[in-house]
Amino acid sequence: MRKERSVIPLILILASAAFIFLMLALPLLLILVESFRAGLDFFAAAISDPYALKALQLTGIATVSSVGLNTLFGLAAAWAITRFSFPGKGLLTTFIDIPFAVSPVIAGLIFILTFGRISWLHPFLSAYDLKVVFAVPGIIIATVFVTFPFVAREIIPVLEARGTEEEQAASLMGAGFLTIFRRITFPHIKWALLYGVILCTARAMGEFGAVSVVSGRLRGKTNTLPLYIENLYDEHQFTAAFAVSSILVAAAIIILIARNIVEYTAKKDEDTNVR
């Protein structure tokens, strides 16, 4: 049923390639061209500006901490949800999904209400001198919120499908929690976990809406890289804005490649395991 009238595939392929080129590749190309518009020296100066470095550092801190926290949470939640039955489990999974339904700006608003000056928690927070909003902890909490379901969502289905027989057997033979996790559970979930971590990193590094609301944008203090780009752009320093953006573009491309490698390797792994 192939062969005859092979123009339709050709048209569809060309249309798809054109669409991807115009929508996805062209913006990337533009960032590269624009960032070197004023020459290599300007580019180097823009990305080594102290404020840029400070913002890069903060983005790094926020990304690493939120990915770490969400990995810990994702593993704990997946273990509790797939390995035990307890009342309120359905409700718990719904709570984990809530951040998906909340716009980042609204997430920021919610954290201002919770940890800011007007909060019911404010007397408690100020008594212990905890500064959350307009400070680094707020940025981290907001980033954890927007990436909250990523890791858990990737691991839960894998553990669910796997069943508990092997772990039961190990437990019966006297293996402790750490041994079971390290020797039996982890090898099965490693690709899913890595995939979740990659998704989480991508989102955490670029988060804008939620962070922009809670950070207070103190330049050199609570400005992340995306917020710093906005500052430069608003001040009409377009070339500098694009130069700084190219750091994030490079990170995004690395993430994309890593994602494809993980997906490919995981598929191959699965094929060999299934016999």
Partner 1 sequence: MHAVKRPLPGFGLSLGLTMSFVSLIVLIPMFTLVLMTCSLGWDGFWRTVSDARVLAGYRISFACAFTAALINCFFGVMLAWVFTRYRFPGRRILDGLIELPFALPTAVAGIALTALYTDKGWLGALFAPFGIKIAYTPYGIVITLVFITLPFIVRSVQPVLEQLDKTYEEAGYILGASKITIFRRIIMPELMPALLTGFGLAFARALGEYGSVIFIAGNMPFKTEIAPLLIVSKLEQFQYGQATAVALVMLAVSFIIMFAINLIQTKAAGFTR
Residues 38-67 that bind partner 1 (CB under 8 A): none
Q: Which of residues 93-112 bind partner 1 (CB under 8 A)?
A: 95-106, 108-112
Nearest approach, Cβ of 43 to partner 1 (angstroms)? 16
Q: Which of 38, 61, 136, 171 binds partner 1 (CB under 8 A)?
A: 171
Torsional sign, CA 66, 58, 191, 176: negative
Whether 200 contacts 66, CB under 8 Å: yes
Q: Which of 62, 141, 193, 240 binds partner 1 (CB under 8 A)?
A: 141
| Alpha-carbon span 252 to 262, nearest angstrom | 15
Q: Which two tokens stand for residue 134?
A: 């307009």
Question: Is residue 121 within a helix (H) or strand (E), and if so which, with residue range?
Answer: none
Nearest approach, Cβ of 89 to partner 1 (angstroms)? 10
Contact string 185-224 vs partner 1 (x = CB under 8 A) = --------------x--xx-xxxxx--xx-----------
Residue 263, amino acid: E
Q: Of the ranges 39-47, 88-96, 153-161, 187-195, which one interacts with partner 1 (CB under 8 A)?
A: 88-96
From residue 34, alpha-carbon distances to 29, 49, 50, 159, 258 in Å are 9, 18, 21, 46, 26
Residue 241, amino acid: A
Nearest approach, Cβ of 25 to partner 1 (angstroms)? 7
> CB-wise, 48 or 89, nearer to partner 1?
89
Q: Which of 12, 44, 53, 130 binds partner 1 (CB under 8 A)?
A: 12
Placement of tokens 């409700």 in the chain: 91
